[in-house]
Structure 1
Amino acid sequence: MADREQIRQQMSEDGVEYILAQFVDINGSPKVKMVPVAHFDDIIDEGAGFAGAAVWGMGQGPHSHDMLGRIDLDSYSVCPWTEGVARFASDLYVDDEPHPYDPRVNLKRVLDDARAEGYVFNTGIEPEHFLVTRDSDGKIQIFDPDNIDTLDKPCYDFKGIANVQGYLRDLMDGMAMLGWDPYQSDHEDANGQYELNFVYSDALTTADRYTFFKMMTSQFAKKYGAIATHMAKPFSDRTGSGGHVHYHVADANTGEDLFLDEGDDQGLGLSEFAYHFIGGILAHAPALCAVTSPTVNCYKRLQVGAGLTSARSGFTWTPAFITYGDNNRTQMIRTAGPGHLEDRTVSAANNPYLAFAAYLTAGLDGVRNRLDPGKANLGNNMYELGLEEIQRRGIRLLPQSLSEALQELKKDPVIQGALGVIADEFIKLKEAEYGEYHKQVTEWEVDRYLTMF
């Protein structure tokens, strides 16, 4: 663990003059106070003060006592988009007690419980996102400074990536400076969509980094006159953005990958422990979906039937089938390699602190109860099976709306337990969000129905 005097010296060497004491609300949106470096000790020992009722989902009213954000020294990150500023992720306290409505505090609770059983949850995330601009009438367009990002299949296109090379280099250089070891960036499947990859870590560190990554994208995009968006599906005719999670569980004492077994009879390189973990994910998948795809817009991405091939590129690349298999991107859970799993259903709009807490809890429930995931779904292109065949095989589907997912969450005490006291707040706010969405009369409805009757 970092020592305050070591960090104080490092900040002096880095020329830090201001500190962002940062936490996230229930949506995963970063919230900050800017603190002069002279008050560094204050935000370690006391914390930066916040009025909880001013932020979504913190379980507070206007009468509540202050939330105090106490910084985590291990999360020290110089802000690469500006000079003289560093960010620390914070844990919220109220009346000198950890605030259970803080998503980061809640994740630490779940991770501590897992460590007490001998487990560490290691995760990586694929942060897909779009660069867009907004017209004077409010409509969005892809950010395309060279007017060349027009291919139906733009994935990996050289001209497409050269179009925004400055932005991608700024991000990669910033991540390298921070020690994240970025190793790839690419133009993704939709026009104006990009992904940058950095090396996995423990779940808390990855959640902190993903949050900071979103902060970086917003600031570097602004430099080029663009808006970076992590909403799941900004364009109806293009592939949506995922936050695909790569993961394994390790032994807390030795670091051994507990998912790995080269002698696996199914040839996937997975252990009995891993299969039980998968069993837990599949069992809780409908409720888990409310947490990993937490907005109404996320379900424009999680489509089945004709929706699977509705993107301009030919595929949405987003399976909504509750299955697992080999290195097959049409499955919910892909075995990316021996001892290495990927969940492709997770939305870019997820709050990583809540998503990781729910995911680990679901998987370990499978381990404790020795849940059987069944045989791996091998050799199938799930997009081509058709709904009738999928139903005939007894394959379940993920919820097709936020409302449906919330109903599943209400019935699942395991996933609710993973969220702690946040669960009721989450359900209340998300039901209100869906209700507000459902009241809207869209342009599509007017165009389709105005003169139909």
Structure 2
Amino acid sequence: MIGIAESNTGVMDKTRDQIEIGNIQYLLASFSDMEGTLRAKLVPSGRLSSVCDSGAGFAGFAVGDLGHGPSDPDILCIPDLRSMTVLPWQKNVAWFAGTLTEDGTSWPFCPRTILLNVMEKAKKMGYEMHTGIEPEFFLVKENEDGSISPSDNKDISQKPCYQQEALMRNIDFLTTLIDYMDELGWSVTQADHEDANGQFEINFDFADALTSSDRQSFFRYMVRSMAEERGLIATFMPKPFSHLTGNGSHMHLSLWNGSNNLFEDIYDGKGYGLTELAYKFIGGLLYHAKAISAIVCPTVNSYKRLTAATTSSGSTWAPNYIAYGGNDRTQFIRIPESGRIEFRAMDGACNPYLATAAILAAGLDGIEKDIDPGEPFAGTDSISSNPIEKGNILPTNLKEALTALEQDDVIIETLGADFVNTFLHRKKEEWREYHHFVSAWEINKYLKGC
């Protein structure tokens, strides 16, 4: 893996030329916090060299759980020039994904650095992971009483998925978004109205794991910004409506060596077109499924998507079982075609860097330990009809997932013990906060009956 400083040296002249030709006046030196929220400083473009050399300084304690207290020195964000992204709606500003350092040393609480470390391990084993993300989101409006509803008042069908009328009523938003993405060189393949009212998905080309994570981070920022301009809210929240399908963030992935797809084998005896290497990777994902759930489904709300019995459309489209199978969208691991697999548990609340790092770490462990995924499962997304023993069900709440992560030495070591301990502390606080809060449901349910 080429270090950020070394990479910046190699592309500095090209970046300067792009800034000059594009009349870019400002730079966003940006990094992702633990929750996946982007933090940034606005830097005049003439300060490019100095911010790459010295970094943009941040008080770490002020931005959340980054292993810092108020008395600690600044953490420094070093922009990765390879990630330069000109804001399509504000063309005099360019965004840069950055990594964090302190006193010249990589900061172990930086999500992007954690992913880079796991990618470096993969590289030493001869692998590069390519990923393609399918982000789902809702466009909603806030009502006078503070509640939310789909922004399109006419989007009320019980089965709205792929509905052409609903798609076309949102044509301005979607085509503008597609134009922006193609302008950035992401090569959009398609967009659709998803299974829930007010829900959409955009698909674009796969890339190396780091580039895809950068793009997923920027995509969420871009969609939210576009919605705000229109007086709407774009949310990637896993389950904003109890009766509707939630927001997944499905990841299609494969391992490569140069131009060789190491997952593709058209002579696969199981008929899925995968290599033995791919099956071992799947084995690692299944083995570590409960632990990595805490990373890829990191909120209390995440498990209302995973464990929902049904929705108004008739299906949750979210996995319940720790299992894999063919072209079956109820699976934890789906095999849509030869040469790639789809990880379907990940949701819209995840930090893209941490989720990708956890998935890659689990898969690599499967390869190192020759973990057999067993036979594929022809399953269903209904918990009530689950034929698998309880041990093969995904965590049903955040607490269960955190307990599993606490007990998984491989994932802890790969992501970093200090980081995982901080993550666990923060998420346990979130769980306690949730249980201490008295909800409107409880008032309605118990106030007059107790």
Which band: TM-score by shorter chain? over 0.9
Quick one: which of 439, 445, 448 aligns to 2:442? 445
Tell me the equivalent position of 1:322.
Answer: 322
**Correspondence 1:283 to 2:287:** yes
Quick one: which of 264, 268, 272 aligns to 1:264? 268
1:383 is displaced (CA, Å) by 3.0
- Deviation string for 1:198-252 (max 9, x for gaps)? 101011000000000011001111122111111111100100000101100112x
TM-score normalised by L of structure 1:
0.95
**Correspondence 1:31 to 2:39:** yes
Aligned residues: percent identity?
44
Tell me the equivalent position of 2:60.
Answer: 52
Q: Which sits farther off after the overlay, 274-283 or 155-164? A: 155-164
Q: Distance in 2 between matches of 1:425 and 1:405?
A: 15
Q: Which sits farther off after the overlay, 401-410 or 217-226? A: 217-226
Tell me the equivalent position of 2:79.
Answer: 71
SS at match of 1:219: helix
1:384 is displaced (CA, Å) by 5.6
Tell me the equivalent position of 1:346.
Answer: 346
Tell me the equivalent position of 2:303.
Answer: 299
1:395 is displaced (CA, Å) by 6.7
- Deviation string for 1:183-208 (max 9, x for gaps)? 11111110111111110101100000
For the structure 1 residues 395 and 324, does the alpha-carbon distance in structure 2 shift closer, same or farther, using more than 3 Å as the test?
farther
Quick one: which of 101, 104, 128 aligns to 2:136? 128
Quick one: which of 236, 255, 262 aligns to 2:259? 255
TM-score normalised by L of structure 2:
0.96
Q: Distance in 2 between matches of 1:300 and 1:81?
A: 35
Tell me if structure 2 keeps the 8 A contact 1:266–1:376. no
Q: Distance in 1 between matches of 2:386 and 2:341?
A: 28
Quick one: which of 400, 407, 425 aligns to 1:404? 400
**Correspondence 1:231 to 2:237:** yes
1:255 is displaced (CA, Å) by 2.8
**Correspondence 1:220 to 2:226:** yes
1:262 is displaced (CA, Å) by 1.1
Aligned residues, how many?
441
Tell me the equivalent position of 1:335.
Answer: 335
Q: Which residues of structure 1 form unaligned runs of 5+? A: none
For the structure 1 residues 209 and 388, does the alpha-carbon distance in structure 2 shift closer, same or farther, using more than 3 Å as the test?
closer
Instruction: Give RMSD over aligned pairs.
Output: 1.3
1:452 is displaced (CA, Å) by 2.1
Tell me the equivalent position of 2:112.
Answer: 104
- Deviation string for 1:353-401 (max 9, x for gaps)? 1111111111111111101110112xx341368445333xx77100000
Structure 1 counterpart of 2:427, which letter? K
Structure 1 counterpart of 2:19, which letter? M
Q: Which residues of structure 2 form unaligned runs of 5+? A: 1-6
Q: Distance in 1 between matches of 2:423 and 2:391?
A: 28
SS at match of 1:244: strand
Q: Distance in 1 between matches of 2:100 and 2:391?
A: 42
**Correspondence 1:8 to 2:16:** yes
- Deviation string for 1:56-84 (max 9, x for gaps)? 22110111111111110100100012231
Q: Distance in 1 between matches of 2:289 and 2:313?
A: 27
Q: Distance in 2 between matches of 1:5 and 1:385?
A: 57
